[in-house]
Amino acid sequence: MRIAFLIHNAYGIGATIRGTAHLSAALAERHDVEVMSVHRVADTPALPFDPRVRLSSLIDMREGTPGYEGDHVLNTGTHRMFPDPAVETGRLRYRTLHDLRLTEWLAWTDADAVIATRPLLNGYLARHGSDRYLRIGQEHLTLASHEPGLRADQNSCLPHLDAFVTLTEADAAAYRTAVPEAADRVHAVPPGSPDLGLTPSLRTSRTIVAAGRLVPGKRYDRLVDAFAKLLPEHPGWTLRIYGRGPEHAALRRRIDSLGLYDDVLLMGAVTPMEPEWAKAAIAAVSSDTEPYGHGILEAMRAGVPVVATDAPHGPARLVAHGVTGLLVPLTGGTDAFAAALGRLMDDQETRDRFGRTARVHAAAHSTEAAAKAYERILDDVHARRTRERAELDALTPRPRKAARAAARLSAPHRAENPRRARSPRKPPRPRTSAAALVTPTGAIEIRPTAPFPGPYTLLLTLRDDPAAREVRLPVPDPGPAVLGRATHRLDEGRWDTYLLAGTTRRRLRAGLVEQGALLGLPPLEDGTGFAHWIPYRTKDGYLAVRAWRRPAHAEIIALETGESGLLVTAQLHGIVRSLPRGAMVRVKAREEGSESFLLAARDQGRGRFGFRLPYVMPLAGHGAPQDVWDFALLPEPGVAPVPLGRVLGDLVDRKRVAVLPYTALEHPAGGTTRVRPFVNVRGDLSLLMRDNGDRTARLPAD
């Protein structure tokens, strides 16, 4: 069967897109599947679609490309479909051009079934769809979540659709009550989560993970406040919030005002999200409304216990209270949510028990089960169409030729009995890619997949290296190539990965990259010094390894900034294992000719030391509109400076997510100077000083 999904923007990261990607992949096992995105805003989607799924678009909104249509003469005015408030503003709002493209596509598509994925698109499908194919509407929120006008408009579409599918049976019942004349067309299909074969969480990371759009309904303010209550009694725990959205700035201010800038990380949008859940000890869902809970299911798949508000309708259908996690009454507020989190933070045994059970429960919610449910709906609708047409034919005698023509138009045919000759789909072009897994010992297992025969050799090359350093290792069959920390040396920098076979050399695209074992993993320390590495996906989708190798390193373990200055605590690693008497911290401006100054390093025992930087010191030497100062430890005369920064863990570019607040200072010469510490791209500590700058101004690129 040819199945087409109609979606607003397949290039974003929301739950509708994720659900469509998962369902389309499962259906592609047995069907020809297309995802038609109304808008195209990027060259490649942020969430990966199965290579067997054809991704197309109706309107190109990629600025600066030859096909850009944002300035199309028809991309003005008002569309003629009912208003859908969520897409009535911004650059992707619907216009006259949308009316034209959508009606044209609905007229000429050769799909056997079209599945629309939001109210406005359900309206287009109901009004302009054809009897040549099955017309299926989807609800990715709930009936109650829509404002009254949109609720009434979408409800009016249901009698003109062949089926309407909600996420939960409770919401399906609400629609059947609201639209009784279409009650037999309303179905509930819980979305599934694919089994990606990920290594489950060990739940020892002391990390709480939350993920979703940064919007008011997700109530991340409640989560941050609850975490703030718990942190004094649970030092060392971290909260990570993944996602993007309009609440980012407000959340950033709240985190800073509570002094949590070193404990709560706004991670941004990360795809795929599944390996990030596997880093969690606890998953947190603080929403006021949660139609289904895709994130809950992904966390449970990773073996992570869930603390969730008992919001309608999703959490209670997935989280078994006291079995796979904890449900918090909505009326309980911040205190109740904090109490539930604290219970699991205090109890590793309970986390493990809940997490193991959650993994078993999640296995029942597979994308394959969702795909089969949709197949049953399509079969039932097809049978109903055929039956209704037969009844109509029996009541309306027609010439044989006309009857045959009507039968051809009455309903879609199965793929094995096509309406007309169709050119076969070209098989997807195989890609050279690799999955990477960090083991508990810190080794990196790399499993390549290639469209050309082996035997294979894994090649790593140091980026921008005049000496062209490289590492080669054979890829056994079967089994991964293994980079062992004690057996393979990667010098400091970024290493790109390639697969070799004979004369063929291909750069490796990143498959799943599992970094969870890095949380809490100590560095490698041997007679040559300090080493740490992180496999990661580059911005353009390739597999790389960020390596640090230094004779000595001082890892920051605590950092506090305020009006009086900067307070830092660090731990020594490598060949300098304890703080020599008289050791100093050097703070040096990057501007050529600028002077540096020294701060006393206070020994705290066992290789730990601290220092304090009064901001008046760099302020006195601040003359340019912008200065950047770099930090290093000077152990003793004749010993090389020791880098001071943060490189341990799983974050390759910490500067992007570990954003420290600015401090506004009055410059002695007049005016205001803004000061902000940050971890630079090398992983080392720096200080930005900028005159009269915006607090959201970008940090230097180093």
The per-residue pLDDT for range 302-331, each reduced to its tens digit, is: 999 999 999 887 798 899 999 999 999 999
**pLDDT at residue 144, rounded to an integer:** 92
Model pLDDT for residues 151-164, shown as the tens digit of each residue = 999 999 999 999 99
Give the model's confidence band at 427: pLDDT under 50 very low, under 70 low, under 90 confident, else very high. Answer: low
Buried b (16+ CB within 10 A) or exposed e, 160-173: bbbbbbbbbebbbe
Q: One fold for both 2-188 and 433-550?
A: no
CA distances to 393, 506, 597, 645 from 629, rounded to whole Å, are 84, 40, 10, 13
What does the block give as tokens for 348? 């590793």
**pLDDT at residue 314, rounded to an integer:** 79
Give the model's confidence band at 421: pLDDT under 50 very low, under 70 low, under 90 confident, else very high. Answer: very low
What does the block give as tokens for 174? 């609400």
Give the model's confidence band at 100: pLDDT under 50 very low, under 70 low, under 90 confident, else very high. Answer: very high
Lowest mean pLDDT among 63-77, 287-301, 321-335: 287-301
Closest CA to 50 of 267, 266, 260, 272: 272
* CA atoms of 467 and 318, how far apart (whole Å): 55
Asked whether the beta carbons of 633 and 645 are under 8 A apart, the reply is no
The mean per-residue pLDDT over the stretch 260-265 comes to 96
The mean per-residue pLDDT over the stretch 90-109 comes to 97
**pLDDT at residue 394, rounded to an integer:** 79
Report whether pLDDT(405) > 50. Answer: no
Domain boundaries, the chain: 2-188, 207-362, 433-550, 552-691
* CA atoms of 626 and 701, how far apart (whole Å): 13
Closest CA to 303 of 363, 227, 217, 228: 363
The mean per-residue pLDDT over the stretch 376-395 comes to 89
CATH classification of 433-550, choosing from 2.60.40, 2.60.120, 3.30.70, 2.30.29? 2.60.40
Model pLDDT for residues 652-692, shown as the tens digit of each residue = 999 989 999 999 988 777 788 999 999 999 999 999 999 87
Report whether pLDDT(449) > 50. Answer: yes
Query: What are the residues whose beta carbons fall under 8 Å from the beta carbon of 622, sequence distance 6 or more?
Result: 667, 673, 689
CA dihedral 73, 74, 78, 83 (to 10 degrees): -130
Hey, what CATH class is 207-362 in? alpha beta
What pTM was estimated for this model as a whole? 0.88
Residue 420 sits at φ, ψ, to 5 deg, of -155, 170
In the CATH scheme, what is the code of domain 2-188?
A: 3.40.50.2000
